[in-house]
Amino acid sequence: MGSLESYFDNTGRDDVLSGGVTMIPIDTDVGTFKVWTKRVGNNPSLKVLLLHGGPGATHECFEAFDSYFPGAGIEYYYYDQLGSWRSDHPDDPSLWELDRFVEEVEQVRRALALTSDNFVLLGHSWGGILAIEYALKYQRNLKALVISNMMSSVPAYNAYAREVLMPEMDQEALAEIMALEASGDIENPRYMELLLAQHYVHHVLRMPVDDWPEPVQRLFTHMNQAIYVKMQGPSELGISGNATLADWDRTESLSEIGVPTLVIGARYDTMDPAFMAMMASKIPRGESLTCPSGSHLAMYDDQVAYFNGLIAFLRSLDASSTSNG
């Protein structure tokens, strides 16, 4: 998703800096840096930390939550991961590794005083990979987990793109896309023109591009390409073989996740919805939600299904805590 900057104005929303903001120091092997977080709401028993996608994207895709979570009484935290928009941008490729991001999330959790009595981790897309890895190492700190629009296997994700999504595309356009990728010419405006028409408006956000919500437009202007390319690779149709995440697969480890977990998929997602339903079945306390009209950004193009299901899951946790207390 890294090549859309030229399609949108590079505007910002400065009001997100007012109130509830905490800059959290993150210790790494190459120094200490700060990451940006912002709290919205107040619920001592239900606090949701939002892990954005990318890698190298921003918290902005989650601004849709502002229309749903406050009214449901859910406290939530925006968070730009290290290297992302409002956080520090160190120029050191050694930082863009999955294990280091897991430790970053743990440092953020401690700084925000989130505990197993209240801490829900929600990861979308790349954030779903990060959330799964965090849960496998630190689930003792979690109240619950939400995996949104991310499969637990990159090889399976690539196979779905290759065997299901690509054959549905116009084959001449696909050949041109693949040729541009093979030549490294992904900054060519023609590349994104083709992807928008053939892929994005069908599987990323099912709206005409001119109608994409303003937070999504801002998200694409604020992407950190260095992180994205190192971890995801330059292709928009899967994760390429030399990328950090190319071989990542935790499907066989899902049974080790013991906390209540909601897995959210969507009918038209870049991720296989059947695979995501299977993931929920492998998690002992897993639940599955499939958004029937949604795509990868189902929180925008299938909002009723997405938020009704998500809020019902979160309220069930809160109700359980109250009754147990």
Could you please report the per-residue DSSP string of 216-252?
Answer: HHHHHHT--HHHHHHHT-S-SSS--TTSTTTT-B-GG
Q: How confident is the model at residue 1 (pLDDT cuts 50, 70, 90)?
A: very low
User: Domain 14-155+245-324 is in which class?
Assistant: alpha beta
From 44-53, 162-171, 232-241, the region with the lowest mean pLDDT: 232-241
Main-chain dihedrals φ then ψ at residue 21, nearest 5 degrees: -90, 135
> Residue 9 class from Cβ within 10 Å (0-12 exposed, 13-18 middle, 19+ buried)?
exposed
For residue 75, give the H/E element and its range: strand 75-80
The predicted model gives 179-199 an average pLDDT of 92
pLDDT greater than 50 at residue 14? no
pLDDT tens digits for 227-253? 999 999 988 899 987 899 999 999 999
38 bridge partner residues: 21, 78
**Domain ranges in the chain?**
14-155+245-324
8 vs 67, residue with greater confidence = 67
pLDDT greater than 70 at residue 270? yes
Residues whose CB is less than 8 angstroms from the CB of residue 250 and which lie 6 or more positions away in sequence, other chains included: 132, 133, 136, 152, 153
pLDDT tens digits for 58-94? 999 999 999 999 999 999 999 999 999 999 999 999 9
Distance between CA atoms of 39 and 23, rounded to whole angstroms?
11
* Widest Cα–Cα separation across the chain: 61
Structure tokens at 197: 């028409």
For residue 136, give the H/E element and its range: helix 126-138
Polymer length of the chain: 325
216 contacts 297 by C-beta, under 8 angstroms:
yes
Nearest to 107 by CA among 197, 33, 13: 33
Residues acting as catalytic residues: 125, 269, 296
Residues whose CB is less than 8 angstroms from the CB of residue 182 and which lie 6 or more positions away in sequence, other chains included: none
pLDDT greater than 50 at residue 166? yes
Beta pairing, strands 21-28 & 31-40: antiparallel
Establish how many alpha carbons lie within 13 A of residue 143's alpha carbon, considering only the half-sphere containing its beta carbon: 24
The predicted model gives 153-176 an average pLDDT of 97
pLDDT greater than 70 at residue 161? yes
pLDDT greater than 70 at residue 282? yes
pLDDT greater than 80 at residue 315? yes
Walk across the sheet containing 261-266 and list its strands.
21-28, 31-40, 75-80, 47-51, 119-124, 144-148, 261-266, 286-291
Mean per-residue pLDDT over the chain, rounded: 93
Nearest to 254 by CA among 129, 157, 140: 129
The predicted model gives 36-51 an average pLDDT of 97
